[in-house]
Structure 1
């Protein structure tokens, strides 16, 4: 192996082939080769075989450890042409889809939420209570002056006495006052369940 400086770059001779390398310094003695256009595909392909469909990050690390001018765009282009990697990526994306909750009967599952309108209040009314049936998407809205448990509970009782209490009443976790109301209603209406979490869209 023969090493010498040629202009701004260093040249190394390996088995009679001259290869351009990144300049070495006292701090950095790791040799990184410049890849020619002719060798680019083969080098990326070899790295791909080494990581074994290991993905873009592993390919990038493998190549960046040895070569100076292999860009992320080049790696992405090669990676996008591999059918196996694309199928694996599609499978992982499918797993992110949340299956919606489906109701089979009217008034089986309903959700209640408060919409805060304090910055755009209408006189004394600063909140809207949104009550919705999951199956029919039928919505009942009530104007509220406050989000106190007593006021919310009185409106829910009015809805329940008109349409009946749902088997499951879902409420947004972030609304503490609504949660207090739901807990009170479970004492009044036997069979109501509380689902903690944000309503599905």
Structure 2
């Protein structure tokens, strides 16, 4: 019985029609003839979907819907504009199939707030010992915000638990022993218990009769580090830097004052997952994944305290090792859009003003990390690599004049 075989395999039709006497081809033709008298009809693959559909199904692109995109940005904002790793870790705890970290990073890379207020990282500071359980040891410091709010606040007291990295903040008008004493007693001791050790610098707000009497009363030992050298109180210094960065990102273009968003920023810090520990301060203390939106469900976390202690020890050793080895910075190619560090500009010395100026364009790279950059009017200047940040946003090229006294920023570097 004659029949037709319709296929998108064109070589099969050629095999049936060829006159070649090649022994291998002849053997294949004889094997096909065992199935009877049939005709091979070629059909192009794109028109052969009726039988070829399994191999031509659309590839799963893991596309992110508009709602999911908005949800990711919402979580990003609630976590104080945390990075893609932290956002992904949170979503992984709340969703069965969260988007990949790379997809999340692509979304967050275009966050204008993050690009404008990202802090340039220096070598990590060493940690003054470790803690084996929560609230065994805390660090405390004050942060000058550089601007006075309508409530009269200019400073922030920041305390952080060495074990869980839980942060407590309070806005104050003046750095006085009385304010430090009241903060420790009301916000730390009466809510979380008495630590064994309090780490601080020897500034007058920490070394005074009021604070000394409070610590003696509760049998807390004070460990002092060098003033005007923040690296010696590394844990508190990193907390200060993170709080400042998150506040700047949150406040940009909102019209709000920093003390109105301080507690929200502190909460965001507590909810951010520490990469090496794979848990947030909130989870370490309460064994619950915090809800950041009303749509999320509460999930318990079973944490192994001993493993957590081992991870903390390992992490501290890595921090010290990295502090000794330093780090490297990627090379910027000509044509790359960049932002210029405006932090050293005396005109823009307020801590919550826009940190990064631009964008501008890299013209060429010179010796010793020097780069020539230009603005939208082809004006050029020289900047060091450590003062440049690659820009991935969509803003048009700016001008040096529009960004203020850019030359002053370079002169002060």
Report TM bin, short chain: 0.3 to 0.5
Q: Taking structure 2 as the reference length, what is the TM-score of the superposition?
A: 0.23
Q: Which has the higher strand share?
A: 1
Which has more radius of gyration? Answer: 1
Higher relative contact order structure (alpha carbons within 8 Å, sequence separation ≥ 6): 2
